[in-house]
Each structure stands twice: as C-alpha cells, then as structure tokens.
Chain A
Amino acid sequence: MSSQLNSMATSSGSEKQSRSLAELIRSGDAAAEQELVLRYSRGVKAILRNAAADRSVVDDLHQETFRIALEKIRRGDLREASGLSGFIASLARNLATDYFRRSRRPDSRDAATLESIQSSEAGALDRIAAGEQARCVRQVLEELNTERDREILRRFYLSSEDKEKICDDWGLSSLQFNRVLHRARERYRELYEKATSGRDKS
C-alpha cells in the first residue's frame, strides 16, 4: 500500500508545473502566488478538515498554511521544487497537529470536542446542507441492493471496526466490499450535486 501511495505522490504528472510555480514565486511573481493558493486551497482544506472538526479552526489554519508556505518558497527554503505538493500537504498536517497539541489538554478534551460539534452545527445554511445530506443518504440507503449493503455502510462509517472483520462477517472479498463503498459514494455524490445545484439555481 505504501509503495502505491509513494508512486501516487510523485507521479501526478504536474511536477513540471510545480517546479515552475515555485521558481516563479521565488522570483517575486505575485500572480504565481495566487495560482498556488487557488490550486492547493481545496486540498489543504480537506487535510485540515480531517485533522480538526471545528470549521473556524480550519479557516484559520488554512490561511496560516499559505502564509508560511509562501514565506518559505520566497526564501528558497523549498529544496526540491518538484515536491511542492508534499511540502504543502505536510505543512498543513503539521500545523493542525501542532494546534491540537497546544490547544487541548487531555482532561478537557471531551468537553472541547462536544463544543466544537455544537458550534459546527450552528447556522441556517449548515442546517439546510445537513437536511440535503440526510435526504440524499436516505435515498442512497433505499437504493442499495440488499440489507447487507446498508449494514456494511453503517458499520464502516459509524464504527471503528476493521474492514477485515466486516468482510469476514458477511463473507465478502475486499474487492466486493470496495465496490459497495464505491457505488454508495458515487451515487451519494450524484444526488448531492443535483440537490445543491438545484438550490444554487433557485
């Protein structure tokens, strides 16, 4: 698995672009800085969401990631320009880990987590999005072929059980299991995009 991931990380086909982007930033090109932010913004947010549940923290760390990244690239601290993606991903993850370590004590952890859940639920737009998500997931569950597939989805997403155990319980191969996840995810995406594009139009 790790060799597959390493090859993914280095063979994305955009190494040349990354190199020239870093070189342009180093030479003081402001447009290249904007391009860097546009190109990596979505990915950085995904990493930060994965590391911290609180949306306000994600926004703050997102800004901080690009501030530090641009500073380092301008200074020439990025040794291998072709490793720009890895550099930015690792910077975002480290900032989130560092934030977590500094801001949370073990005994206040649960309370802080609950607060972040509560605060992340605020806002009318969030409630609308949550309602649409719930409708889409209900439809996905209804459309799944069997109760087995519905149960697999619930156990995989809502518990910390190993995939191997879930596969064993249902007598499934890893590939069959992945197909259930894949079908559910793609159908959910299709339904949610349809629902949100309808909302955007209205």
Chain B
Amino acid sequence: MEDMHLDESDIAERYVTGRLSAEERAGFEAHFVDCARCLDRIEAAEGLRDALARPTPPQRPLLLRIPRRSRPPAFAMALAASIVVLLGVPVALSLRAASRAERALDAERSAAAQAAQRLGDLEQKLGGAQAALRQEQEARSALETQLAGERRPQLQVPVFALIATRGEESETLRLPARPQWILFSLERESPPRFSQYRVTLLSSDRRQLWQGQVEHTSSDQLAIGLHSSLLPPGAYLLQLEGIGRAGSLTRVAQHAFRAVATPPDSATHER
C-alpha cells in the first residue's frame, strides 16, 4: 500500500462520513482492520466529526471591568461626593434603570444561548438519524441484490441420486463452489407403502438442520430441493420416514453423506 498516496487521499474521511459505496467500504475495511496508520487516520477523522457535530458551548458575554484602585486619591473622593450631592436622586434613578436594562439584556443573551444549544442538539440528532437511515438503505440494497440473484432462473440444477446407507457407509457429494439450489433424488421403499414422507437433515453431531414433509415425485422416487448454502463442508445424515394414515412415523431409510466443495467446473458425487 502506498502510504504517501493515502496521506493525500480522503478515504478515511469518506469512510467515517458514510460516503463510500458498499464495495469500497468492504475493501477499505479488509485493509485497515490490520493497519495501524489507517486506524490513526480513521480515529482522528471520527474525533473531528464528533467535535464538529457537537454544539459549541455558549461563550459568556464579555463584561467591561474597570480596574479599582486600592486607595483613591482624596481629591477624587471629594469630587465624587460633590457630584453625588449635586446630581442626587435623578442620577441614582438613572443608574437603577440602567441596571435593570443590563439584567434584561443578560436574560435575553442567556435565552439566545439556550436556543442555540437546543438547535445544536437537534442538528446532532438529525445527523445521527441520517446516518442510521443510510445504513438501513445499504442493508436493504444488499438484500434486494441477493433476492434478485435468487430469482434468476437456474439453468443447470445439480441432481444427486442418494442411495440408502447402512452403518458407517457414507457418500461424498461434491457440491458446486457457488451457493445454488441442488436437487436430491431418493428411492422410495419397495413396494411403496406411504404417500407422504418426513425428511430430516442432521449434522454430524446430530443437530437438526432442516425438516420438512414431501410427497412422492414418481412411483419410485422422491425429489427434494435444498439450497447448497445449508450444507457447508462436513458430514450429514438425511433421514426418511413414512407418514402413516394416523400420522405415525416409520423409518424408511437413511442417507449418510459428506459434502465437499468443488472447483466451479463440476459437481458430482462418489461413494
């Protein structure tokens, strides 16, 4: 990776502000998860974003302070006393009025600061809600893409004819490399006794992965469609039970198999 190039890039900023596409974001995450320099950049960009989003605390209004002298000169005291005597009550009233006006002004400033604070809070919440909405849209878009893929007609569906196994016997199924629908073909009991069957798919530790009811496909076959994503490499057991008229279950057969992934060219099974 070229660090000089990344220094000049805005990828960390675009990442923390949600401006990368899903593909770009995945590529960048796969890189920076193990890159201390990029993590430094991301954390700095996050700090900058958070601090900018936070409302700035209101600054206190500057008060004009007149320095006091510890000992006023005598002539000044005399002059002040004379002014008080001469101007008397009217000046005192004016000072009171000025004081009231100053208090009202302070109250207005305080209210304005609170309003600014509230506005900042709301802007921050709006930013958070917008980020959450973006994430939801991305998740939805990913789901839609997945759904569109699933809806595409599948022209080549691998079919695996499973034969009943006993004891330690097991078949090996080479599943397609890409997840897709596959078809299992199972033999019915001879002569056929049931029209409905319960099929159970178990993992090697006997955990139930899937269960469903099927009807016979032909006089001697049952067909079950499964998505290969249900079968990561490992050992499995497919149990087939016949459902009687009263709902009673009778074991018909079991099919032990091992799923392995194959290169994209072929999907086969072997014994």
Contacts and interface: CB of A to CB of B under 8 A. Distances in A.
B129 interface: yes
A87 to B, nearest CB: 8
Nearest to B232: A77
A53 interface: yes
A101 B1 contact: no
Chain B CB count within 10 A is highest, among A1, A6, A178, for A1
B37 to A, nearest CB: 11
A145 interface: no
B44 A192 contact: yes
Contacts of B131: 53
Name the residue in B8, B34, B44 with the highest tally of chain A Cβ atoms < 10 Å from its Cβ: B34
Contact of B23 (A2, A40, A100, A140): A2
B145 to A, nearest CB: 13
A22 to B, nearest CB: 13
Interface string B209-250: 000000000000000000000001000000000000000000
A154 interface: yes
B253 interface: no
Given A40-B34, A51-B135, A93-B29, A157 B48 contact: yes
Contact of B48 (A100, A114, A117, A188): A188
Q: How big is chain B's contact interface, by range?
A: 35 or more
Contact of A12 (B31, B41, B42): B31
A18 B35 CA distance: 13
B44 A188 contact: yes
Contacts of A163: 10, 14, 19
Interface string A26-56: 0000000000000110111011011101000
Given A7-B1, A9-B31, A100-B135, A117 B124 contact: yes
A130 to B, nearest CB: 6
Interface string A45-81: 0110111010000000000000000000000010000
B51 A133 contact: yes
Interface in B25-73: 25-36, 39-54, 56-57
A123 to B, nearest CB: 15
B160 interface: no
Interface string A175-202: 1011101101110110010000000000
Contacts of A179: 8
A181 B53 contact: no
Interface string A124-136: 0000001001101
B30 A185 contact: no
Contacts of A153: 48, 52
Nearest to A40: B33
Most buried by B among A6, A46, A88: A46
Given A134-B56, A157-B17, A182-B7, A14 B34 contact: yes
A5 B40 CA distance: 18
Interface in A163-182: 163, 175, 177-179, 181-182
Contact of A136 (B16, B51, B130): B51
A110 interface: yes
Contacts of A160: 17-18, 130, 134
Given A9-B28, A109-B136, A154-B52, 5 more contacts: A116-B128, A160-B18, A163-B19, A185-B41, A185-B44
21 contacts: A5-B23, A5-B24, A5-B27, A5-B31, A6-B27, A46-B39, A47-B33, A50-B15, A86-B30, A93-B29, A109-B133, A109-B136, A113-B132, A133-B47, A156-B17, A158-B52, A163-B10, A178-B8, A185-B41, A185-B44, A189-B44
